[in-house]
Structure 1
């Protein structure tokens, strides 16, 4: 009996020590995390700068953005707050907002409607396609909002860019009234221009959106970029370089880098153009930049349309879908400037 009690007592002691050891271990980790001066300072700083939730007409708002633009994944909520209303309980904002959150809005996608103003409004509000904003061509100062930015609009369809797919989930869509293009008997496309008033509207709207949501340059895209095998909008006459130069919106390559790469690109095109290995290299470079494309080692239709989409955006002087030396140099310069993270 004494031996049994001894064994039980010893077991209890071992269990107690083990439990105490684990408990101490957990407490030690917690103390270490909390006691780090840098973490404590950041936490205090963030608590101090948080403005209060405001309320207007029964709707709560929080309009501060404490995002870290280098991460694009640490963003305080912005705008109106949607909250649960559990029966018999009160939801409070005592500890609102947590910093471990991000925006749904990671991308800004630009389109054209291929319809006149009145039909564009009708289709985008009454049918199974929509956009968050519609920029008319009436020469006024109005921009139509059609969908709440916090909601998904149906503008991107089957789409992909870099590691992301189904971009309706993570994007804001802007439609621009424009009749698109006409094609001749050979299939050559002639695109319709945008008015200066429209471009000013688009630039102001895009600047506001990318600033509020801290959307990186690599995520400001054409519909043709995210769906190159089936879409052409907003086409080669949309002034991407103007937006880049004058409003700091979106991507553009460095001219000096392009010129440096041009000589080698000319040699590649003239000596390797039909080599499967070279075509594969081109396809891999298109994938690296962001386009969804299978590597076949052939100048297939998907590759041609993807090259055409690249040209719409970055080489609008020639959008025939053929990889020439300048397009090849531009693609390499873009990959140098905007590497995949």
Structure 2
């Protein structure tokens, strides 16, 4: 009996030792991780950026390194405005990003309807302003009233094509001019502009439009962007001259206008004038060109005032607010030349 128990005990002991040895063999020993060398990101062969220049503690960057074909521009006209968070340092090690452009996208022209001294007072001391004021004193001065980087209060409720509230994206130029008086028949009679003023305006607009890459379609009259309530700068402002002599703003091609005019007079224009379909088409063309106008299919007050504003700019010989064949031909020629993109 004892011998039997001894054999069993010995067997258990041998089995136990064998199991422990096998367990030790199976024990996981973690490997020491090998340290991999850091890989640096591949860099493209970028040209070195011009450095930010500093004068008297103020930073400037006046170079365009962006793709002009994409309408991008990194040039800064004035000092760079930067945050100054308490306890932290804002650095310009990676300045500037190339994907940027100017906020200044429109140029809006006005007249003041006031003489020089009162124009200055109103535009500097009241709740209306413009970036520039072109005086009528015969000198070579142009008054700057608002920083180009800030909003001036000149456009009011306004719209052009797909944009609204144009104070946000425009530079306003006021021209000293007394505006208009109303004659006995109720027609507006506008005051002419001085020759020296026109040259000042042309030089000023050319400079601003060139610097901010403002397209011809965005150089406008106040009456263009607010046709139901504004008339300035009126029909005596020489838009065609600015287009011909300075390549400023929009104008139609004579050949296209003549083709549309011939077509209009050959299709019995007067007979369809009061047809709602024709009126709707006219309103659509005005809207397509840029004016904010509801498509009512009626010769309502808003439509007549919009036609009048259009005539101030593009057919100033007659601004009666009636869509005659010549006005209609000019409108179609402009829509063809300056399509809404």
- Could you tell me the TM-score, scaled by structure 2's length? 0.84
Q: Is the CA contact (8 Å cut-off) linking 2:108 and 2:219 kept in structure 1?
A: yes
Cα deviation code 1:43-66 (max 9, x no counterpart): x2xx44x43211222221111234
In structure 2, stretches of 5+ residues that fail to align are: 1-40
Match of 1:204 in 2: 203
After TM superposition, give the deviation of residue 134 of structure 1 in Å: 0.3
Matches within 5 A, 1:32-181: 44=46, 47-48=47-48, 50-66=49-65, 68=67, 70-72=69-71, 74-79=72-77, 80-181=79-180
Match of 2:311 in 1: 311
Cα deviation code 1:233-258 (max 9, x no counterpart): 00010011111111111100000110
Question: Does 2:298 align with 1:298?
Answer: yes
After TM superposition, give the deviation of residue 338 of structure 1 in Å: 0.2
Q: Distance in 2 between matches of 1:66 and 1:313?
A: 37
Question: How many corresponding residue pairs?
Answer: 299
In structure 1, stretches of 5+ residues that fail to align are: 1-30
Q: Distance in 1 between matches of 2:203 and 2:152?
A: 21
Q: Is the CA contact (8 Å cut-off) linking 2:66 and 2:99 kept in structure 1?
A: no
Question: Secondary structure at the residue paired with 1:175?
Answer: strand
- Could you tell me the TM-score, scaled by structure 1's length? 0.84
RMSD (Å) for aligned C-alpha atoms: 1.6
Q: Distance in 2 between matches of 1:57 and 1:145?
A: 24
Q: Distance in 2 between matches of 1:258 and 1:69?
A: 33
Question: Secondary structure at the residue paired with 1:114?
Answer: coil
After TM superposition, give the deviation of residue 129 of structure 1 in Å: 0.2
Match of 1:21 in 2: none
Match of 2:33 in 1: none
**Which one has the largest radius of gyration?**
2
After TM superposition, give the deviation of residue 104 of structure 1 in Å: 0.8
Q: Is the CA contact (8 Å cut-off) linking 1:77 and 1:97 kept in structure 2?
A: no
**CA, structure 1 residues 71+264, in 2 after alignment: closer, same or farther (shift >3 Å)?**
farther
Match of 2:29 in 1: none
Q: Is the CA contact (8 Å cut-off) linking 1:280 and 1:295 kept in structure 2?
A: yes
After TM superposition, give the deviation of residue 186 of structure 1 in Å: 2.9
Question: Secondary structure at the residue paired with 1:60?
Answer: strand
After TM superposition, give the deviation of residue 92 of structure 1 in Å: 1.2
More helix by share: 1
**CA, structure 1 residues 67+251, in 2 after alignment: closer, same or farther (shift >3 Å)?**
farther
